[in-house]
Chains A and B, each alone.
Chain A
Amino acid sequence: MKIRSNVEKRRLQGIAIITALSSLSFLYFGILKPGKEATTFGFVLNDEWVIIKDWVISSQTGARIFSITSLLASAIAVLALKKGRSISVPVAVASFGILMSFLTWIASGKFIPFTGLLQGGLLLSIPLIFGAMSGLVCERSGVINIAIEGQLLASAFVSAVVASLTDLAWWGLLAAPFAGAAISYLLATFAIKFSVDQVILGFVINVLVIGLTDYLYKKLLIPQQNTWNSPPLLEVVPIPILSKIPVVGPILFTHTIVVYLMVAIVSMVTFGLHKTKWGLRTRAVGEHPTAADTVGIDVNKLRFRNVIFSGMIAGVGGAFYTVGSVGAFGKEMTAGAGFIALAALIFGKWSPIGALFAALLFGFATNLQSTLSIIGVAIPSEFMLMVPYIATIIAVTGLVGRVRAPAADGIPYIRGGAH
């Protein structure tokens, strides 16, 4: 009896699912229930060099073309699997085809601002990415971080207040990491020094931050809004030349400093985790703290520092809510983003790049929902908001590969304690 390895089995399942979805989209969007009118895609957002004309295509033809593309990509994936090559590129193309097929179908007779859809998706995912990196730095060193929500909310609040008082958005951005670090200090002290259960602790911290910001918001920020809650916004800094590239320019290179910082942080964490002493030690204390201790690494000190660092990362993400996009602080304005960031971390298998893409996916799903409701094809928003959680459940059931948390995640380290 031939026993297939789990990896092989999983890849087969993945290809089966993507092929089924492609066929389904071809049948449903292209033949059974085709859109009757033409769909228009818009690609222009600012003043790019080349102004790409709107693309008008019959909904039915478009849906068919994209579905066939994805069927072809699925076939290539099968070939790649047989030859033992990586299947990620064809699977990505197939998924994109299905998505586009769906878009051309649903927006029949309507206009889809394609560039805006992607740019908005990126912006919505920014706090998620910072939150996920915060969680990652904590959890890879062995401390569970449920308090991302609290870190984001507290730093959003502080950056709004500081920017309002100084009337400078930069000060708001600079103050935010300290707010995040302060929340982290609570987490680190109780989790590491007093070995409190980290999941409960995280929840308590979230509730504390929500209560505290709600109170101050009501007593201070609403009555004296001009003094306390009218922060200036950070400027958009288009990157010369690059920002003028059609489609790509507005999506990637026309942003505030916060978005560029996100790129820097993700690169830093990725590189740091695998190529530096800090990363090697961080991973070691997250996987086998006793082993790290026996070669002379101070486990709890490193964990403490990483938790503080994680708060600073989340702090920048919090600042994005206020000085980075909306301006004024609003009651509970993070609205569960900390938990979606946690979901992205798990969906991305605790790897920075994985978490980045997961967060982008979740941000895009949210923006797709709002774009569709703006152009007048309403999918119940609740469904779209479920996407991150459903994706996470799929992730932990093992469909996207074995999800393995750092082995010592959430376990306080006490020298000479039980193995």
Chain B
Amino acid sequence: MSLELRGITKTFGSFTANDSINLKVETGQIHAILGENGAGKSTLMNIVYGLLKADSGEILIDGKSVDISGPSDALSVGIGMVHQHFMLVPVFSVAENIMLGHEKFNKFRVLDLDEARKAIRAISEDFGLQVDPDAIVETLPVGIQQKVEIIKALIHEAKVLILDEPTAVLTPQETDELLNTMRDLKNKGTSIIFITHKLREVRAVADQITIIRRGKVVASVAPEASEGELASMMVGRAVDLAPEKYAHEMGSAILEVKNLTVRDALGTAVVKSVNFHVNAGEVLAVAGVQGNGQSELARALINLEEHIEGSVLLDGREIRGSSIKDSLHAGIAFIPESRELDGVIGSFSIAENLILDLHDRAPYSKGINISAKVMQEEADKRVAEFDIRAQSIMDSVSTLSGGNKQKVVIARELSRPIKVLVASQPTRGLDVGSIEFVHERILSERDAGRGVVLFSTELDEVIALADRIAVMYRGEILDIVDSKVTREELGLLMAGISSSKASA
């Protein structure tokens, strides 16, 4: 089945998310849609799947125009979608999830789960997607949950399958497995729309690549194009994919973490007796699949978690148990995982956000007043230094783009005298230009002799920036390895297989 989009346009207020997009996916083709975050890929797919209504344009299936005004229409014409955030009910079993919306009954109008189990097994065998129909979804690893999503689409006889950023949550091995599944599906005649911003995957699997930038189709190319070409089309200018990292002398340990355990509110240990140290002038990257305790560990370093045991020594001084404020002023800079929630106060101005940490001391405050003049002068300086693009420093931060919000956070955190920078997913959801900026700043802190702890789930980022890499799995640091490690080795570690075990 082929799918064609003609002149799809969608605006939100004055913002044009999709600008007359034309696209054709042939039968049995893997068609990649490549674009930065915010380029309009998800909007386009939500239109195809009926979750959003296009302002104009038409959708053609096998050359015939169809009207899709809801997901049920999409399903009935044979379009299935695997969403970036899984559309599975966590407390349901696999069978219940798959049956939802297409329930089968026995003669007493009672749900017939056996029927669903049989159908799941049949699809499992046909496509090599092994899952237990009676497993509860929330207990399954993400990779398996994704298989459930794919089975869900196939069971509804999807002939066109949309995969929205499917590799974002997977380990490298799971990613490879998914790419193989995609090839299998293609060979059995399913058309696939593969949405991503990861160049390597696109080149590995796609038959055709359409590049979207700022809501417009800028090019449609064959997968033979180089990564550099694809990246520059995606961003609209030449980009430097790998930041330059110079070898230099490292100092002694500036941050030492000993037997650090973090518990959640129910008393379950989410970080389990972790040990590591960071030298001055070194980037230690903490890699791992999302949700293995990295967020909690990052927060624990500045005492943001409630239940912390163990020891955190900053330049030889114990800081565990001190207040967050004291941790910050002892010399830790912190870039939180969610800028919107924890990094900035959206309704405050840029200038105010820039002094959140220092507002209570000279030169900003005099007695009970905050000096607006000093605040604005400092803000002007930092806006220039960190290249924050804004109309005015008095605009509220919520009006800024993600990249500029992150620059505000970085500008604030790096303007204190610091010894260690803790950055948690600092480039998540940013455009390529902003990512470059963040990477440069992280390396310049390293070169200036500070210790950097970088928490990241992006392997490319980890490999490009790190001097050493610690891999977290289920709350433990499985191993700390040199940055010359291969992607495969890292992948195994992220899946919980330590090198000692792997070689045994």
Cβ of B89 under 8 Å from chain A: yes
Q: Which of A274-294 contact B (CB under 8 A)?
A: 275-277, 280-281, 283-284, 287-288, 290-294
- Let me know if B266 and A297 touch, CB within 8 A: no
Interface centre among B70, B83, B101, B267 (most CB of A within 10 A): B101
Interface centre among B85, B89, B105, B269 (most CB of A within 10 A): B89
- Let me know if B90 and A288 touch, CB within 8 A: yes
Cβ of B334 under 8 Å from chain A: no
Assembled-state Cα–Cα distance A44/B456 (Å)? 73
Chain A residues near B99 (CB, 8 Å)? 280
* Beta-carbon nearest neighbor of A415 in chain B: B51
Q: Which of B43-85 contact A (CB under 8 A)?
A: 46, 49, 51-52, 70-72, 75, 81, 83, 85
> Given the interface contacts A275-B110, A296-B72, A296-B101, does A283 sit within 8 Å of B51 by beta carbon?
no
The smallest beta-carbon distance between A400 and chain B, in angstroms, is 14
- Let me know if A294 and B83 touch, CB within 8 A: yes
* Beta-carbon nearest neighbor of B51 in chain A: A416
The size class of the interface chain A forms with chain B is: 20 to 34
Cβ of B437 under 8 Å from chain A: no
Chain B residues near A3 (CB, 8 Å)? 269
- Let me know if B72 and A288 touch, CB within 8 A: no
- Let me know if A294 and B85 touch, CB within 8 A: no
Cβ of B8 under 8 Å from chain A: no
Cβ of A224 under 8 Å from chain B: no
- Let me know if B100 and A416 touch, CB within 8 A: no
- Let me know if A6 and B88 touch, CB within 8 A: no
Contact of B111 (CB < 8 Å), options: A276, A288, A292: A276
Chain B residues near A415 (CB, 8 Å)? 51
> Given the interface contacts A6-B267, A297-B101, does A280 sit within 8 Å of B111 by beta carbon?
yes
The smallest beta-carbon distance between B50 and chain A, in angstroms, is 9
Cβ of A398 under 8 Å from chain B: yes
Interface centre among A402, A415, A419 (most CB of B within 10 A): A415
Chain B residues near A275 (CB, 8 Å)? 110-111
The smallest beta-carbon distance between A13 and chain B, in angstroms, is 12
Contact of A295 (CB < 8 Å), options: B71, B85, B267: B71
Contact of B87 (CB < 8 Å), options: A6, A281, A291, A407: A291
Assembled-state Cα–Cα distance A284/B81 (Å)? 18
Chain A residues near B87 (CB, 8 Å)? 288, 290-291, 294-295
The smallest beta-carbon distance between B68 and chain A, in angstroms, is 12
- Let me know if B100 and A280 touch, CB within 8 A: yes
- Let me know if A291 and B88 touch, CB within 8 A: yes
Chain A residues near B101 (CB, 8 Å)? 281, 292, 295-297
- Let me know if B70 and A287 touch, CB within 8 A: no
- Let me know if B89 and A291 touch, CB within 8 A: yes
Q: Which of A168-225 contact B (CB under 8 A)?
A: none
Chain B residues near A398 (CB, 8 Å)? 266
The smallest beta-carbon distance between B205 and chain A, in angstroms, is 24
Assembled-state Cα–Cα distance A283/B99 (Å)? 13
* Beta-carbon nearest neighbor of A419 in chain B: B85
Assembled-state Cα–Cα distance A276/B96 (Å)? 11
- Let me know if B71 and A293 touch, CB within 8 A: yes
Contact of B110 (CB < 8 Å), options: A276, A288, A292, A419: A276
* Beta-carbon nearest neighbor of A281 in chain B: B100
Chain B residues near A416 (CB, 8 Å)? 46, 51-52
> Given the interface contacts A276-B110, A296-B101, does A284 sit within 8 Å of B51 by beta carbon?
no
- Let me know if B89 and A287 touch, CB within 8 A: yes
The smallest beta-carbon distance between A142 and chain B, in angstroms, is 12
> Given the interface contacts A287-B90, A291-B87, does A280 sit within 8 Å of B96 by beta carbon?
yes
Contact of A296 (CB < 8 Å), options: B71, B85, B97: B71
Chain B residues near A407 (CB, 8 Å)? 90-91
Chain A residues near B267 (CB, 8 Å)? 6
Contact of B75 (CB < 8 Å), options: A276, A283, A296: A296
Chain A residues near B486 (CB, 8 Å)? none
Cβ of B200 under 8 Å from chain A: no
Cβ of B92 under 8 Å from chain A: yes
Chain A residues near B92 (CB, 8 Å)? 283-284, 287
Chain B residues near A402 (CB, 8 Å)? 266
Cβ of B103 under 8 Å from chain A: yes
The smallest beta-carbon distance between A252 and chain B, in angstroms, is 27
Chain A residues near B237 (CB, 8 Å)? none
Assembled-state Cα–Cα distance A407/B71 (Å)? 22
Cβ of B391 under 8 Å from chain A: no
Chain A residues near B100 (CB, 8 Å)? 280-281, 284, 291-292, 295, 297
- Let me know if A277 and B111 touch, CB within 8 A: yes
Chain A residues near B102 (CB, 8 Å)? 295
Assembled-state Cα–Cα distance A4/B92 (Å)? 26
- Let me know if A6 and B72 touch, CB within 8 A: no
The smallest beta-carbon distance between B295 and chain A, in angstroms, is 17
Chain B residues near A288 (CB, 8 Å)? 87-90
Cβ of B503 under 8 Å from chain A: no
Chain B residues near A287 (CB, 8 Å)? 89-92
* Beta-carbon nearest neighbor of B81 in chain A: A294
The smallest beta-carbon distance between B421 and chain A, in angstroms, is 29
Interface string of B350-383 (1 = CB under 8 A from A): 0000000000000000000000000000000000
Assembled-state Cα–Cα distance A280/B116 (Å)? 14
- Let me know if A6 and B266 touch, CB within 8 A: yes
Assembled-state Cα–Cα distance A71/B72 (Å)? 59
The smallest beta-carbon distance between A184 and chain B, in angstroms, is 25
Assembled-state Cα–Cα distance A281/B92 (Å)? 11
Contact of B105 (CB < 8 Å), options: A277, A292, A419: A277
- Let me know if A294 and B51 touch, CB within 8 A: yes
* Beta-carbon nearest neighbor of B72 in chain A: A296
Q: Which of A377-419 contact B (CB under 8 A)?
A: 398, 402, 407, 415-416, 419
Chain A residues near B500 (CB, 8 Å)? none
Q: Which of A20-76 contact B (CB under 8 A)?
A: none
Interface string of A1-17 (1 = CB under 8 A from B): 00100100000000000
Assembled-state Cα–Cα distance A277/B85 (Å)? 25
The smallest beta-carbon distance between B138 and chain A, in angstroms, is 10
The smallest beta-carbon distance between A296 and chain B, in angstroms, is 3
Cβ of B248 under 8 Å from chain A: no
The smallest beta-carbon distance between A288 and chain B, in angstroms, is 5
Cβ of B268 under 8 Å from chain A: yes
Interface string of B149-177 (1 = CB under 8 A from A): 00010000000000000000000000000
**Which 3 pairs across A and B sit closest by C-beta, in order of nearness?**
A296-B72, A295-B101, A291-B87
Q: A280-B99, A288-B87, A416-B46 are in contact. List 4 more A-B contacts (CB 8 A).
A: A291-B100, A295-B152, A296-B72, A296-B75
**A and B contact pairs by CB, cutoff 8 A, 24 listed:** A6-B266, A275-B110, A276-B110, A276-B111, A280-B103, A280-B111, A283-B92, A287-B91, A287-B92, A288-B89, A290-B85, A291-B88, A291-B89, A292-B101, A294-B49, A295-B71, A295-B87, A295-B100, A296-B70, A296-B72, A416-B46, A416-B51, A416-B52, A419-B85
